[in-house]
Structure 1
Amino acid sequence: MSERDAAFRALHRPGRPVLLPNAWDHASAAALAAAGHPAIGTTSLGVAAAGGKPDGAGATGGENLDLARRLRDLPVLLTVDVEGGFSDDPAAVADYVAELAALGVVGVNLEDGRPDGTLAPPELTAAKVAAVKTAVPGLFVNARTDAWWLGVPEPLDEALHRARAYREAGADGFFVPAAPDDTVGLLAAEVGRPLNVLHRPGGPGLAALGRLGVARVSTGSLLFRAALGAALHLADAVRAGRDADLPAAPSYGWVQGLTGS
């Protein structure tokens, strides 16, 4: 295991969750690194939308590789959302993730949700996890279930079943976006791997989630959507001839500096 792989793994401390903000391009990633975040993830929605493609449709494999190349020199640990791995062939998924690892990526999110709104068979996702761990043993595989995200029947039972399957396949973490607050403590106690949850505006903060045993909190697409919202708000204010109530924007020079220019 490389020093970077070990450093990323060490950030996952149940009870003391690391905040993993999610970037979608070089500027957002560089800004988050400059703000002192030791690790960042990518947001599949942000990467897809920035490229004019749909999220969750297996269409952004090339975009993820290109982004990893652009981010490889940033002083930050990077984990990439690879959706379902862009293939149902576990060997192809492993080859793809190995390409990311060769670019310095230390982790991936690998999900079981499908574009048609169903969950992939747990055996298939587990096979993908196992193939990735065989190809790049040191890389942190965060196995994600969309049991709540897609509204399947009995999502808690389904999530726990999948957690066991993915853990046995070698997953290093378990991600449960949209899990209700009252299930988080149970999940943290039962899944047997560091638990990752999605930050929810108005929901429990880092300290409260830590008390429930959470190890990692992601912002998902929130930062990307907030940036779009701020841009629309400001454009509307300028068009209407009124002041926009927004935080001060970074200066031109500061943003230019993110590129090393």
Structure 2
Amino acid sequence: MTAAVLRALHHGLDLPLVLPGPWDAASAQVFADAGFPALATPSAGVAASLGYEDGATPPDEMFAAVRRIVRAVGIPVSADVEAGYGLSARELVGRLADAGAVGCNLEDADHATGTLRDAHQQADWLAEVRAEAGDALVINARIDTYLCGVPDRDETVRRGRLYAEAGADCVYPILAPPPLLADLASAIGLPVNAVVTPDGPAPRELGTLGAARVTFGPGLQQRAMAALTGMAERLREELGGG
């Protein structure tokens, strides 16, 4: 599947575009069989499935996981590749292409320190990725202001506009208050990605509030693991406990 297909889905009439987050090939097949038009891998969900903490997955293992997910389905897959793992734009784009991903998340915070990267440096990085990829990659530029304790609407818009100028296809102001989504989309001028949280609005409501794209982070993987934990506990009870 091509990036053009994924890009067009961000502007369809049936918004929001809901992208489940598969963590392995089997979960990807489940979501594809359910009729979703595209998928977006969550780095935290993939990390958990591989036995790592969020942000600690070795790049080789992350790209290998994305490759297995892409191979398992016949729909577009966007990959969360965190802050790019320190790769050059050329190497990052090449590895995404090798894995078969036609989209990516790139965040503007440092996992290790929890601090925001300089917005102009991030915009320059995104521009390099766009130049290397051309139209072959849908870039979802994550804005971590609210995640990093900078709940500033104007700073979020400033970053979003810089990333739009750099060639991003959409922006992802993660954890921004849902009532602000329409304002952010209008001020930045790009489709906005919103994340479903346990106590927040459902996907359809997020669309009503202004999200063109809805993802789940590691939420679906966590719910699946909770269900598996319940199954394991019941099995132990049937076997007589310890």
Which residues of structure 1 form unaligned runs of 5+? 243-261
Contact 2:179 2:209 in 1 (8 A): no
Structure 2 partner of 1:248: none
Task: Say whether 1:157 aligns with 2:124.
Answer: no
The one-letter code matched in structure 2 to 1:41 is A
Structure 2 partner of 1:47: 46
Structure 2 partner of 1:20: 19
Q: How many residues align?
A: 235
Instruction: Return the offset for 1:197.
Output: 0.4
Structure 2 partner of 1:171: 168
Q: 1:99 aligns with which of 69, 77, 95?
A: 95
Structure 2 partner of 1:110: 106
Instruction: Return the offset for 1:200.
Output: 2.3
Instruction: Return the offset for 1:211.
Output: 2.6
Instruction: Return the offset for 1:214.
Output: 1.6
Which residues of structure 2 form unaligned runs of 5+? none
Task: Say whether 1:216 aligns with 2:234.
Answer: no
Instruction: Return the offset for 1:67.
Output: 1.8
TM-score, normalising length: structure 2: 0.90
TM-score, normalising length: structure 1: 0.83
Query: Identity over aligned residues, as a percent?
Result: 39
Q: Deviations over 1:209-253 (max 9, x none)?
A: 2233321000110011111111112222333349xxxxxxxxxxx
Q: Tell me which stretches of 4 or more aligned residues in structure 1 moved more than 3 Å.
A: none
Q: 1:194 aligns with which of 191, 204, 207?
A: 191
Structure 2 partner of 1:140: 138
Task: Say whether 1:82 aligns with 2:81.
Answer: yes
Contact 1:48 1:60 in 2 (8 A): no
The one-letter code matched in structure 1 to 2:70 is R
Contact 1:145 1:162 in 2 (8 A): yes
Contact 2:178 2:209 in 1 (8 A): no
Instruction: Return the offset for 1:8.
Output: 0.4
The one-letter code matched in structure 2 to 1:216 is R
Instruction: Return the offset for 1:120.
Output: 1.0
Instruction: Return the offset for 1:108.
Output: 0.2
Instruction: Return the offset for 1:78.
Output: 0.4
Contact 2:41 2:66 in 1 (8 A): no
Q: Alignment RMSD, CA only?
A: 1.9
**Separation of aligned partners in 1, 2:125 and 2:2:** 23
Instruction: Return the offset for 1:14.
Output: 7.4
Q: Deviations over 1:45-92 (max 9, x none)?
A: 1111222222124x43112221232233321110000000001x6xx1
